[in-house]
Amino acid sequence: MSTAILFTTQLLTCVPASHAQADQGAITGYIKDATGAAVVGATVTVTNIDNGLVLTSTTSGGGVYVMSPLKIGNYSVSATAPGFQTVTQNNIRVDIQQRLAINLTLRPGAVTETVEVTDAAPLLQTQDGAVQQVISAQTIDSTPLNGRNFVYIAQLTAGVAPPFGNTRGSGSGDFVANGQRTAQNNFILDGVDNNTNLVDFLNGASYVVRPPPDALAEFNIQTSSFSAEFGHSAGAVVNASIKSGTNQIHGSLWEYLRNTKLDAQNWNALTIPAYHENQFGGTLGLPLWKNKLFYFGDTEANRIAYNNPGTYTVPTAKMRQGDLSELLDANLNGQSVQLYQPNSGGGANNKLSCNGRNNVFCANQINKVAQTILNLYPLPNTNGGKTYNNYIVNSPTHNNTYQWDQRLDWNISAIDQAYVRYSYNHVITVNDPPLGPILDGSGYGGEYDTNLAQDFILSETHFFTPSFTNEFRFGFNAGRFSFLQPNANVNLAPTLGLGGIPFSPNEGGLPLGIVYGLSNWGSQGTSNESQNVYQILDNVSKTLGRHNLRAGVSFQSIRFFYRYAPSSLGNYYFTGLYTSDPAVSATTGSGIADFIADQINTSALSTAPNINDALWYNAGYFQDDWKISPKLTLNLGIRYDHYEPYKENSGSQENFIASDLGFSTGTGTLLIPTKIKNSLALGTKLPGILAKDNVGIQYIDNERLANSQSMNFAPRVGISYQVHPSTVVRAGFGIFYGGLESQGGSNLGDNFPFRGQVNVNPVSCTLGNCPSNGVTLETGESAQFAAGFLNSVSNPGFHAIDSNIKTPYTMNYNLTMQQEISNSMAATISYVGNESRHLSTYYDPNTVRGLYAAGTSTQQFQPFPDLGGIGTIHFAGVSTYNSLQAKLEKRASHGLSFLATYTWAHAFDDTSSAGGLSTAIGDRNMAILPFISEYTNSVYDVRNRFTFNGNYILPFGKGRTYLNQNKLLDYAVGGWSSSLTFVAQTGTPFTVYPDTGTVSGGSARAIQARDPFARGGSPDPSNPAAADASGNCPANPKTREHWFNPCSFANPLPGNSIAPVGQVAGVGNNALFTGPVTDPATAIALLGGKQNTLYGPGYYGVNMSLFKNFPTFREQYVQFRADVFNVLNHPTLANPSTTNDNNNGGNITGPKFFQSNTPDARFFQLALRYSF
């Protein structure tokens, strides 16, 4: 009869999601007499063994009881009624989001007589149709985890696979669930949102905070057909809960160690890079007031130091003096390069020389600023005096993490419970620049990188009656993340003589110098992001007869900041143009020579806007779990999600709406918020450019510049039928909206004039005349900067989004059968599928509408010839996924527990993350071939995947079966256990590209002509380059050298198949088509077929842990642990690095990427832990 109104909590708990009692569970069941008749009005008592909380209810007219919500933990259930004995079921474990069925049978007798049942509850899932997996604290603790990142355990469950480096969070635990994008996964901690909402995922993870494994009570991963309590996204829900304090003092101290001496060498490496890691911390749980107030806390620090081996090109000693004669020696330089006097435009009489010495500058020709910078480069230390790849350095990185979680649980009374938890995580990474503290030379990522994250929750649950409950929650998470270059707060440029370089806090240092022939000097720029997410959730639960009704609401305010400054100090390109002879076919000119002469080819300088975006995500749901009979449960739910488009708080954003697109013609509207109409300066050039291309400017009151979909109703249906006491059949269907996916750098606030840029390009260079463009190292772009960015704009591009946003959604469905093999083992087989619609994808309305002859500049034929790309977030993508998923699960008994899964699946997609946060399917020409024509194997398609995760406690020593009497013997042979994970899967798809000139206006792909893994053969007539110099094709495909046989591929029709502009095919040329080509059939012949038709190498791997416990005092012990990763030292092979169809096609140069700081070869992690 009683319990359960979860109305608001689940829906409210999700910042980008909504979950009522997301971190709690429920116990429900029937109370019957010996004849099977319902016992009405029986008293049911549920006792939390951990904290002493006692809850009481009575059965309904059908003998049904429901106790909800219940914190996860260990319970006993007692039932009694007048004239019946008291029956108590012990050893009950309530897991996250679990509706546990505990049915009790009362026998005649006195109430004072008690019958105790000690068998653990069965593994059968009988109360809902969701596809899910609970990961217990024991499994979390015993699974070998590199870096102790518990999220990777999710990859050991059915339907889940790693993304292999194809997403921003691949190195921190991203996973693909049932073919869905990783950005559609929903991370929940203690019932509240824990998702990254950053524009560009600068933190490198999909979650905000990640507690250590020792702090977790358990986590649940739901991948399909879950209840209406959950929203936010359409992928998996990772629902974790931090431990609570109990009436017993408990805790642990630990240190984990990794060291270079414990690592093997990767198959593609010459050495083992230095790596040292120390993780240490502890947990403590205790009662502050017995049965009332409990504390739990954890803290952990991680210290990582490792080297980044790199090979660079630095100037030789002679080059630093202006002597570039070494460029003439092909043995030293790879080719002989003749230089000419700067700006001369070449010619036989203008070769660079000084006092008869060829390729040498005279002292008065050497720019002093350039020479100063050349002398700051480290000296060559390798490659036998050659001018390239002549400097090797191990650049150290130091990564320091400090994190902690604090939680208080308060049992105010039998009708009120509350808890509060605060989490903190701070990561500081310091990267030593490879070219030294001044020149830098590092790639994007910064010298000083900071991740600071916080997460807070306050929860209060009130039982108005045993069957009527309300839960209120308030959640907050915040993060600040930044990449800072060396000397970020030092005005360094003037000290080297560099002029015209702006300076501001956090954006000091040097501009980026790209000198062809040398490794880059200077800095790539800075990036800063932050988020603040507030959530208010309320859930109500009510039990009416056999119905457990839940409803909830969620209000979530999401704010995020974004500032990316890639060239705020300037970018200078030295290409060799000004010391070359444009009339000579041989290689002439050198970027180093241009640099010494202070001749900049191209330069760029930009301003970076401070973008402050805000939006609301509001949701509501209703869920009815109807226990129709003891065997049949029906889950009916409906959810509403409203995703508000973001706005820039100051109004500083624009949206571009295009229409009537054709050849060299189109119309468009640039939308700008009315609130900045009187303050926004557009300058004189931009309005003129827009008017020339028929683009109007419109100010509108809708400061979000787009409209969201308002009818996002999502029905959910689940059914569970217990065919037999040991057999359950389940099914589920639901619609899941996913409107909070980050779109990367495609932000409306990152448009001109909020981001301004000055580009200075070279003046035309001809024989005998190659004038400078006027920009020098001493002046920089000061003249252009003084003129203002508004007056320097040319060919501006825009970020845009559909004016009427269609919310992405997924239809999930499954049919499952679960069979209990024993009380501790169950087998499950499921069909799991989904279809997704309105996925965000990249669209550029300024794509040229036809194909042209190779080499044709198509800018003039674009709909807006004077504009650049118009990167639009367009909601038109589709995907499908179908799978057979099987698992065999054994709960711990007789020392053994394991989970084995097998997934046979196929995922299709025609798009990917539009903002560049994951690998895309791509397009050939989106104006000719619509998105659906690119529908192909998903980037994440894994056809077969098997996983095993098990733990075994050896049966020796005290408390075990054998050798349990002798204390000394117990120290030797007792307390041993081992864990093992095994993963095997087939490969993921990739694309083969043509190695020939193709048409302009599209992206071409090779055409598979025969079995790509066939041996030898002859190359297709269109692809003679597939054979080697002797005319032979690879004899052994599926190797590192040639994963595929390039001779099995044909090239699409060559680029000269289309006649040059203004000519007719076959008239004075050998072309087959008159341009532009616009029909799809001909376009396919010229551009090839779909992507992702070939599959790369699969892999298998074994990880193992070995434990030995040494008893100390009572139940306390010290544990030694050794984790071994890739036990068999079996190398993995990534997809080919060379994916064109020439003779090098299919070459593999590296291993697969699984996780940051993870070698491919075998490595060890050792630990000591004290538990009390």
User: Is residue 845 reached through a cis peptide bond, with omega within 30 degrees of 0 on the bond before it?
Assistant: no
For residue 870, what pLDDT is reported? 96
Q: Is the pLDDT of residue 1124 over 90?
A: yes
Query: CA Rg, the chain, in Å?
Result: 33
Adjacent-strand bridge partners of 399 = 304, 429
SS3 label, residue 470: strand
Of the pLDDT bands very low, low, confident and very high (cuts 50, 70, 90), residue 21 is low
For residue 267, what pLDDT is reported? 95
Give CA separation, 1059 vs 127, 643, 852, 927, 1077, in Å: 68, 49, 8, 20, 10
Percent of the chain with pLDDT over 70: 97
Tell me whether residue 27 is exposed, middle or buried, using C-beta atoms within 10 angstroms of its C-beta: 0 to 12, 13 to 18, 19 or more: buried
Q: Is the pLDDT of residue 117 over 70?
A: no
What integer is the mean pLDDT of 1033-1042? 95
Q: Which amino acid is at 436?
A: G
Q: Is the pLDDT of residue 526 over 90?
A: no
The beta strands (E) that lie in 341-447 are given as 353-354, 357-358, 391-413, 416-431
For residue 472, what pLDDT is reported? 96
Is residue 591 a contact partner of residue 513, using CB atoms and an 8 Å limit?
Answer: no
For residue 487, what pLDDT is reported? 93
Q: What is the pLDDT of residues 870-908, one digit of tens each?
A: 999 999 999 999 999 999 999 999 999 999 999 999 999
Of the pLDDT bands very low, low, confident and very high (cuts 50, 70, 90), residue 112 is low
Q: Is the pLDDT of residue 118 over 70?
A: no
* Residue in the block written with tokens 């020409």: 925
Q: Which of 340, 343, 376 is nearest to 360 (CA)?
A: 340
In this structure, the strands spanning 73-80 and 713-724 are unpaired
User: What is the C-alpha to C-alpha distance for residues 116 and 94, in angstroms, rounded to an integer?
Assistant: 19
Q: Is the pLDDT of residue 8 over 60?
A: no
For residue 999, what pLDDT is reported? 96
What integer is the mean pLDDT of 339-363? 95
User: What is the C-alpha to C-alpha distance for residues 714 and 637, in angstroms, rounded to an integer?
Assistant: 8
Adjacent-strand bridge partners of 395 = 308
For residue 919, what pLDDT is reported? 87
Q: Is 345 left (phi over 0), alpha (psi -120 to 50) or beta?
A: left
Q: Which amino acid is at 415?
A: I
For residue 974, what pLDDT is reported? 87
Q: What is the pLDDT of residues 27-77, one digit of tens each?
A: 998 899 888 888 999 999 999 998 888 999 899 888 899 988 888 889 999
- Output the pTM of the full model: 0.90
For residue 195, what pLDDT is reported? 95
For residue 353, what pLDDT is reported? 96
Adjacent-strand bridge partners of 1132 = none
Is residue 585 a contact partner of residue 511, using CB atoms and an 8 Å limit?
Answer: no
In this structure, the strands spanning 99-101 and 24-33 are parallel
Q: What is the pLDDT of residues 355-397, one digit of tens each?
A: 999 999 999 999 999 999 999 999 999 999 999 999 999 999 9
User: What is the C-alpha to C-alpha distance for residues 943 and 895, in angstroms, rounded to an integer?
Assistant: 34
Alpha helices in 101-195 (DSSP H): 137-142
Q: Which amino acid is at 466?
A: P
Of the pLDDT bands very low, low, confident and very high (cuts 50, 70, 90), residue 11 is very low
Of the pLDDT bands very low, low, confident and very high (cuts 50, 70, 90), residue 111 is low
Look up residue 360 and give its DSSP letter: B
Alpha helices in 133-193 (DSSP H): 137-142
For residue 10, what pLDDT is reported? 34
The structure tokens listed for 272 are 């083992």
Q: Which amino acid is at 713?
A: F
Q: Compute the mean pLDDT over every residue in the chain, rounded to the nearest whole number.
A: 93
Half-sphere exposure of 580 (CA within 13 A, CB side): 20
For residue 114, what pLDDT is reported? 67
Of the pLDDT bands very low, low, confident and very high (cuts 50, 70, 90), residue 246 is very high
Is residue 668 a contact partner of residue 693, using CB atoms and an 8 Å limit?
Answer: yes
Between 981 and 271, residue with greater pLDDT: 981
* Residue in the block written with tokens 């509001």: 618
For residue 9, what pLDDT is reported? 32
Is residue 560 a contact partner of residue 198, using CB atoms and an 8 Å limit?
Answer: yes
Q: Is the pLDDT of residue 846 over 50?
A: yes
The beta strands (E) that lie in 486-570 are given as 512-515, 526-544, 547-565
User: Is residue 1046 reached through a cis peptide bond, with omega within 30 degrees of 0 on the bond before it?
Assistant: no
Adjacent-strand bridge partners of 899 = 889, 949
What integer is the mean pLDDT of 451-462? 96
SS3 label, residue 674: helix
Adjacent-strand bridge partners of 1097 = none
User: Is residue 1076 reached through a cis peptide bond, with omega within 30 degrees of 0 on the bond before it?
Assistant: yes
The Cβ of residue 373 has, within 10 Å, a number of other Cβ atoms equal to 25
The structure tokens listed for 126 are 């009988």
For residue 14, what pLDDT is reported? 32
For residue 12, what pLDDT is reported? 30
What integer is the mean pLDDT of 234-261? 95
Between 596 and 774, residue with greater pLDDT: 596
What integer is the mean pLDDT of 435-464? 93
User: What is the C-alpha to C-alpha distance for residues 450 and 819, in angstroms, rounded to an integer?
Assistant: 49
* Residue in the block written with tokens 């032979």: 1032
Q: Which amino acid is at 749?
A: G
User: What is the C-alpha to C-alpha distance for residues 929 and 1080, in angstroms, rounded to an integer?
Assistant: 6
For residue 113, what pLDDT is reported? 67
Cα-based torsion angle of the residue sequence 151, 157, 160, 162 in order, rounded to the nearest 10 degrees = 50
Tallying the residues shown for the chain, one arrives at 1172
Q: Which of 451, 585, 472 is nearest to 539 (CA)?
A: 472
Is residue 770 a contact partner of residue 597, using CB atoms and an 8 Å limit?
Answer: no
Q: What is the pLDDT of residues 652-705, one digit of tens each?
A: 999 999 999 999 999 999 999 999 999 999 988 999 999 999 999 999 999 999
Residues with Cβ within 8 Å of residue 761, at least 6 apart in sequence: 602, 773
Q: What is the pLDDT of residues 274-328, one digit of tens each?
A: 999 999 999 999 999 999 999 999 999 999 999 999 999 999 999 999 999 999 9
Is residue 223 a contact partner of residue 887, using CB atoms and an 8 Å limit?
Answer: no
User: What is the C-alpha to C-alpha distance for residues 899 and 885, in angstroms, rounded to an integer?
Assistant: 13
* Residue in the block written with tokens 């004899």: 1035
Q: Considering only the C-alpha atoms of the chain, give the largest distance between any 2 of them, rounded to a whole number of Å.
A: 118
Q: CA 745, 917, 641: angle at the middle one, nearest 5? A: 85
User: What is the C-alpha to C-alpha distance for residues 755 and 609, in angstroms, rounded to an integer?
Assistant: 6
Question: 88-97: b or e for each residue (b if 16 or more CB lie within 10 Å)?
Answer: bbbebbbbbb
